[in-house]
Amino acid sequence: MTAHPMRYPSYIELSKSALEGNIQFLKKMYGETVRISSVVKANAYGHGISEFVPLAEACGIDHFSVFSMDEALHVKKFLKNHADIMVMGWTHPDDLEWAIENGIELYIYEYEMLTRAILCAEKTGKKAIIHLEIETGMNRTGLTGEELKAVRKLIRLNSEFVHVRGLCTHFAGAESISNFVRIQSQIRHFNRTRKWLSKNGIMPDLIHTACSAASVAYPQTRYDMVRVGILQYGFWPSPETFIQFMHGKGVKDDPLNRVISWKSNIMSVKDVNEGEFVSYGNTYLAKSDIKIAVIPTGYSHGYSRSLSNQGRVLIHGQRVGVVGLVNMNMLITDVTGIHGVKIGDEVVFIGRQNENEITVGSFVEFSDQMNYELLARLPQNIPRFVVD
């Protein structure tokens, strides 16, 4: 993409130095023996797989996790080196053959999946590289005790077709202390299963259970690898996790840096007289003469309609409010009193401008989305640009 960012209704910037800082911070926290799998599902949490994956590789990442095979394909296409790709979620049976052929690592959470994977491995002449996902109490996907027994048998009988790369599980809400007891029980369950498997001749290369929150709140869950999503992008999974990390460390500043900024520019500026309504309907009445700036970004571009009369954006380094309803393609801001506002001026939805910053967190308060959701829903067609 060579066109200038300002020629799009809005655009996203990814900060290379922010990501480098975050990865360095994580490596230091986990230590050298723990591998980092960079979780890039949901288009790299809205950051854009095509741009984010090469950046992460440049920071030394050599393992990526996605949810589904279409994402694995997307990552593979943009890899510069030979990082591993792991599908932590859904694989359509018809995609197994391609996955095995291409060395994509697969979560196995159903007996049937394994039988099919073995058939594909026989056919392609390549081993299926699998991670056994254990059901430990989240009650989502994962092999239960009985299934695991059957799976173990199948693996022993087909060892020339299967390589057990990993053993894993997922915790049901490690970002909240209110789930403490449940997580502890999951950890115990996982360790029992791990021991039983090893006693029964299955020794996976990589034990991995932790997402971002668990990697901070329950360091014993790091094992050989951590699956890190939100932290690498510079966000804490929850305020609690942040406090847990900071507690007793004597540091006050957030060690993470936000990688993403989301920006646009002004398309029109005009005066509105006292007593006039702004935008559709009558949700905003000008109580005095005001000046408005119109921005070519609306809910179809990912700026939630629930931010109508609520959202804040940065213009000329100042925080200004969204007035009236957010439209499909436009939103309107009140720029009264800001000198010299004109067409083409930069608008920041997320990120910094001069001394001020709009955080994802502040959006979250107004729009009832968690930071994960807001990021993941940033539309795929917003162009992404890498900056230093």
Interface ranges with ligand PLP (CB under 6 A): 39, 41, 88, 170, 211-213, 227-230, 237
Rounded to the nearest 10 degrees, how much is the dihedral formed by the CA atoms of 346, 41, 227, 171? 110
Nearer to ligand PLP, 230 or 322 (CB): 230
Query: What's the CA gap between 189 and 194, in Å, rounded?
Result: 9
Q: How far is the CB of 109 from ligand PLP (least distance, A)?
A: 11
Nearer to ligand PLP, 363 or 372 (CB): 372
C-beta nearest to ligand PLP: residue: 229
Q: Which residues contact 175 (CB under 8 A, 6 or more apart)?
A: 212, 213, 217, 237, 238, 240, 241
Query: What's the CA gap between 227 and 37, in Å, rounded?
Result: 5
> Considering just the CA atoms, what is the radius of gyration of the chain in Å?
24
Query: What's the CA gap between 151 and 142, in Å, rounded?
Result: 12
Q: How far is the CB of 2 from ligand PLP (least distance, A)?
A: 32
Nearer to ligand PLP, 36 or 347 (CB): 36
Q: How far is the CB of 372 from ligand PLP (least distance, A)?
A: 7
Q: How far is the CB of 212 from ligand PLP (least distance, A)?
A: 3
Going from the C-alpha of 245 to that of each of 206, 215, 254, 282, 286, the distances in angstroms are: 25, 10, 10, 46, 46
Nearer to ligand PLP, 90 or 277 (CB): 90
Nearer to ligand PLP, 104 or 213 (CB): 213
Q: Whose CA is closest to 115, among 89, 86, 93, 92?
A: 93
Q: How far is the CB of 4 from ligand PLP (least distance, A)?
A: 32
Going from the C-alpha of 107 to that of each of 96, 127, 296, the distances in angstroms are: 11, 14, 42
Nearer to ligand PLP, 158 or 238 (CB): 238
Nearer to ligand PLP, 49 or 121 (CB): 49
CA angle 96, 46, 7 (to 5 degrees): 120
Nearer to ligand PLP, 197 or 225 (CB): 225
Q: How distant is the alpha carbon of residue 327 from its chain centre? A: 27
Q: How far is the CB of 143 from ligand PLP (least distance, A)?
A: 14
Nearer to ligand PLP, 71 or 147 (CB): 71
CA angle 35, 38, 42 (to 5 degrees): 155
Q: How far is the CB of 134 from ligand PLP (least distance, A)?
A: 12
Cβ contact 270:341 at 8 Å: no
Q: How far is the CB of 88 from ligand PLP (least distance, A)?
A: 4
H or E, element range at 57: helix 49-58
Query: What's the CA gap between 345 and 263, in Å, rounded?
Result: 11
Query: What's the CA gap between 15 and 110, in Å, rounded?
Result: 40
Q: How far is the CB of 107 from ligand PLP (least distance, A)?
A: 8
356 burial class (0-12, 13-18, 19+ CB within 10 angstroms)?
A: middle
User: Position 119: which residue type?
Assistant: L
